[in-house]
């Protein structure tokens, strides 16, 4: 995993219209646990799949709310990693050349933005904003008052919606079984249809419909590159799979392609 294949370096150097599809692995080196890894502390009895659903919120709103509040506090406490920063640098570089990089993420964190990337689509929403679970009006919720590295001992109830005074506040994320925001999905689809390179970073490639987006590139013969320490549900359709961490591989790849990493 130390070296990056020369063919990949060439693709990166020559690409002008790039879609980067990221998943939880992108933020792993910042200290945000991925979805399919075993959780610790208060949450060790639950998998993410058991908490990130409308049914779970209905059954135990405090449990699900508190889990998201903790993740929100954790995300606020960590920093973007070199992978996020490399992607931001690549986006700036391509914009300077008259091209573009469309960042399409399944992550609900804001680490791409905090690294300076303009994100085209948050396919699974955002953990930093909230809305009413009933009337869907935006709800302002103050940031968690605790340090994200310590798990809060007591579950707290979600606040009630000030607009309808009935529904509970929930994070603006997409739960399993829910529809993706159409605007975000359409923007991602259009970007892939206009791209000349698709790079898939840190996603297990099993959650639909996000995992099917690279197939739109495949249909058009756009080169597909994966960066992930492990094999994924998308590996078999990839032209190149680089086995490694995004925070290490992305900076190395861009440096090899002559893309400046440090300019802000």
Which residues are known catalytic residues?
Answer: 124
| Residue 43 is a binding residue for ligand APR (CB under 6 A) | no
35 binds ligand APR (CB under 6 A): yes
Q: Does 229 bind ligand APR (CB under 6 A)?
A: yes
* Share of the chain residues as helix, strand and coil, in percent rounded to the nearest 5: 35, 15, 45
Residues numbered 152-211 forming contacts with ligand APR, rule: CB under 6 A: 202-204, 207
Name which position in 34, 47, 128, 129 contacts ligand APR (CB under 6 A): 34
**In whole angstroms, what is the distance from residue 22 CA to residue 111 CA?**
11
**Shortest distance, CB of residue 169 to ligand APR, whole angstroms?**
19
Positions touching Zn ion (CB under 5 A) are: 132, 134-135, 161, 163-164, 167
Contact between 30 and ligand APR by CB under 6 A: the answer reads: no
Q: How far is the CB of 239 from ligand APR (least distance, A)?
A: 18
The tokens describing 104, both together, are 């399409």
Please state the closest distance from residue 71 (CB atom) to Zn ion, in A: 23
Residue with smaller CB distance to ligand APR, 181 or 229: 229
Residue 35 site contact among Zn ion, ligand APR, none (CB < 5 to 8 Å, cut-off depends on kind): ligand APR
59 Cβ contact partners less than 8 Å away, ≥ 6 residues apart: none
**Cα distances (angstroms) measured from residue 35 to each of 5, 111, 211:** 29, 16, 15
Tell whether the torsion through CA atoms of 45, 74, 145 and 112 is positive or negative.
Answer: negative
Q: Which residue number is nearest to ligand APR in terms of Cβ?
A: 25
Taking the C-alpha atoms of residue 215 and residue 63, their distance in angstroms, rounded to an integer, is 36
Alpha helix ranges (H) inside the chain = 6-14, 25-28, 48-51, 54-59, 61-77, 82-96, 111-114, 182-193, 213-219, 246-256
Q: Under the rule (CB under 6 A), what is the footprint of ligand APR?
A: 23-25, 28-29, 34-36, 48, 52, 106, 124, 202-204, 207, 228-230, 232, 245-247
């Amino acid at each position: 995993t130390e070296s990056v294949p020369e063919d990949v370096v060439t693709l990166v150097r020559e690409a002008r219209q790039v879609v980067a599809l990221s998943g939880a692995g992108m933020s792993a080196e910042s200290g945000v646990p991925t979805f399919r890894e075993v959780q610790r502390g208060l949450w060790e009895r639950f998998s993410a799949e058991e908490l990130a659903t409308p049914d779970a919120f209905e059954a135990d709103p405090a449990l699900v709310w508190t889990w998201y509040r903790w993740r929100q506090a954790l995300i606020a406490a960590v920093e973007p990693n070199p992978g996020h920063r490399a992607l931001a640098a690549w986006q700036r570089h391509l914009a300077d050349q008259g091209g573009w990089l469309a960042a399409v993420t399944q992550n609900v964190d804001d680490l791409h933005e905090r690294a300076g990337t303009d994100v085209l689509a948050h396919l699974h929403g955002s953990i930093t904003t909230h809305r009413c679970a009933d009337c869907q009006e935006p709800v302002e919720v103050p940031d968690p008052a605790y340090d994200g590295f310590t798990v809060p001992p007591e579950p707290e109830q979600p606040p009630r919606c000030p607009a309808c005074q009935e529904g509970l506040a929930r994070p603006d994320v997409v739960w399993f079984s829910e529809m993706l925001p159409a605007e975000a999905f359409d923007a991602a689809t259009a970007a892939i249809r206009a791209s000349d390179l698709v790079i898939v970073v840190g996603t297990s490639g099993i959650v639909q419909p996000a995992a099917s987006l690279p197939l739109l590139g495949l249909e058009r013969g756009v080169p597909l590159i994966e960066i992930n320490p492990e094999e994924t549900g998308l590996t078999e359709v990839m032209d190149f799979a680089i086995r490694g961490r995004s925070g290490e591989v992305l900076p190395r790849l861009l440096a090899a392609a002559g893309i400046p990493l440090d300019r802000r």
